Structure 1
Amino acid sequence: MKFLFTGCLFLLIVFHAPAQTTGDFSLVHTIKGTFTDFTVDDLLNVYSLSPTNTLTKYGPNGDELFRYSNNEMGRPATIDVANPMNLLLFYPDYQTAITLNRTLTESGQFDLFGPDLLEITAACLSIENKLWVFDASNFLLKLIDERGQAIEISDDLSLYFDKTPVITQMEAHKGYIYANVPESGIIIFDNFAQFDKEMPIPGIKHFQYSKNNLIFQRDSSLFQLDLNSLKEKPIQLPRTITKGAIAKVKHQFVYICDKDKGIEVWEFRGKKEVRE
């Protein structure tokens, strides 16, 4: 059964402490709770995933707005918030992708079972609200519609690599699809599913696209890769983070999630760097 909860039904507290500063950063607030994953959209809304697989949306000030829980599907491998009005949750165990509106109410579903879709390991929404998927059974990237019909299909990606790639995360931005293969790096495709290039950056935990830059986490550090110059540089963080923590950036803010310590929201007030 699926449930939609509003923040008034739960006592998940956002802790507003006295301003804490460290170097060029100031701690804005901390969203208290135990989380296994999180992400941030372009409007600075935060989406957290709990150990019970409940997705919670918070506004930019940290106030809880909406909840979504799906006890049938397990843990989503993808929380795609590239379009804050149309979110995507991908559940690999059930080969299903569900779309949500801005209030985290279900608005659609892609059933990924079928003769042409056998082992989907990653998915993301296209700009046209179709679905990009990677099928590990035949190493093909596909753009499909809501009926599962393929609109675009890549070449067999195993032909490009010594080791067959397994894509774990994808994002679509400005006519390109960026795909993470943790063992080798980031693969870039054009909007027709054709292989463009590979960025040899192995060991990436997760990545974000930001104004022609890729922001990615490796172990306990964040890095920025300029897609024009292909130069990589570290991103300054407000504090040292543990290996298991997740760090992300959005505009002038840095978000740090330690599993049982909540999500810290830091504002960068030094020299302008990455802006998303």
Structure 2
Amino acid sequence: MFNSIRLLWFFLMPLPFLQAQDTLIFVKSVPAIGLDKVSQDNYGHLYISDKKGNINKYDSTGKFLMNYSPQKLGMVTLLEAFNTIKIFVFYRDFQEYLMLERFLGPMPYLPLKEEQIGFARLATLANDYNLWVIDETDFSLKKYDRQFNKVLYKTALDLILDARDYDITFLREYQNNLYINDRYSGILVFDVFGSYKKKISFKGLDFFAFHEDEMYYLQNDTIQFFHLYLLSNRSIPLPLKAKYVKVLVYNRKLYAIRPDGIDIYQIQKR
């Protein structure tokens, strides 16, 4: 009798892997040309660069708000808007970066000092307004003090990655950790002092983002979510053959980026 009750309870309980997936309801499309890098601030505003380095800002409904036209023509290597007050733009070809204010007014290009940073493959804004830099000259991760032009922390990467076979495409500080994406080996996790913690084995990615306590990314026409603390996974399939290249999520809205526009969906729980 007791075993029968246990068996009945097992079949009635809401097992996570049997629960229905969230569904997507199409809202609108926003046309654009040559979209490249994307980011989103804490208010849901979208920042999207094109292949000429122009940066467009949209509100959470997809309404165009304003544009930044660069003083130099060049592709943006990394665009980061999480701070909301300052929009960080890094140009690898120039070895320079911008700190745009939220109205995207013109600002001076700021160089990375060659004495401290040999050649920056990638750089991003830290929560304390300093920079995280991947320096290819000595293959290291550096925390760079913008005000005093000095390296605060340095971590050699040659014991973590193969210096002959890596492809670092993105990095982002979130909830007191730094996440670095290597397309070949996965996502490397460091603490705020640059000390290596672990590797998350998600390979083949170019870009990822965060929403609340989850990391998410686009892979095989599906949005994959990974809970940072529970280590659980969930997914939402996208329409087939839509040719999306990146996705962003905010307040139960999905922004699916195509090279020629943005499709906005409402995420509905089943």
Which position in structure 2 is the counterpart of 1:121? 121
Q: Is the 8 A contact 2:171 2:178 kept in 1?
A: yes
Decide which moves more: 116-125 or 185-194. 116-125
SS in 1 for 2:216: strand
1:244 positional shift = 5.6
* Correspondence list, 1:57-136, <5 A: 57-107=57-107, 109-136=109-136
Which position in structure 1 is the counterpart of 2:178? 177
* Correspondence list, 1:1-276, <5 A: 24-37=23-36, 38-107=38-107, 109-146=109-146, 147-154=148-155, 156-162=156-162, 165-237=166-238, 239-243=239-243, 245-260=245-260, 262-271=261-270
SS in 1 for 2:29: strand
Q: Is the 8 A contact 1:169 1:179 kept in 2?
A: yes
Q: Which runs of 5+ in 2 are unaligned?
A: 1-21
Q: 1:244 to 1:121 in 2, by over 3 A?
A: farther
Q: Distance in 1 between matches of 2:175 and 2:232?
A: 21
Decide which moves more: 178-187 or 160-169. 160-169
Q: 1:235 to 1:117 in 2, by over 3 A?
A: same
Letter of the 1:196 counterpart? K
Q: Is the 8 A contact 1:246 1:258 kept in 2?
A: yes
Across the two proteins, how many residue pairs are aligned to each other?
246
Q: Distance in 1 between matches of 2:234 and 2:228?
A: 12
Q: Is the 8 A contact 1:100 1:108 kept in 2?
A: no
Following superposition, which runs of at least 4 residues in structure 1 exceed 6 angstroms of deviation? none
Q: 1:91 to 1:148 in 2, by over 3 A?
A: same
> Which one has a bigger Cα radius of gyration?
2
Q: Distance in 2 between matches of 1:185 and 1:195?
A: 14
Q: Is the 8 A contact 1:248 1:256 kept in 2?
A: yes
Letter of the 1:36 counterpart? L
TM-score, with length taken from structure 1: 0.81
SS in 1 for 2:158: helix
Identity of aligned residues (%): 23
TM-score, with length taken from structure 2: 0.83
The Cα offsets for residues 88-145 of structure 1, whole Å up to 9 and x where unpaired, read as 0010011111110110124565412412212211111111111111112222111112
Q: Which runs of 5+ in 1 are unaligned?
A: 1-22, 272-276
The Cα offsets for residues 178-213 of structure 1, whole Å up to 9 and x where unpaired, read as 110111110010000111111111101210122232
Q: Distance in 1 between matches of 2:158 and 2:28?
A: 46
The Cα offsets for residues 253-275 of structure 1, whole Å up to 9 and x where unpaired, read as 11112212x1111111224xxxx
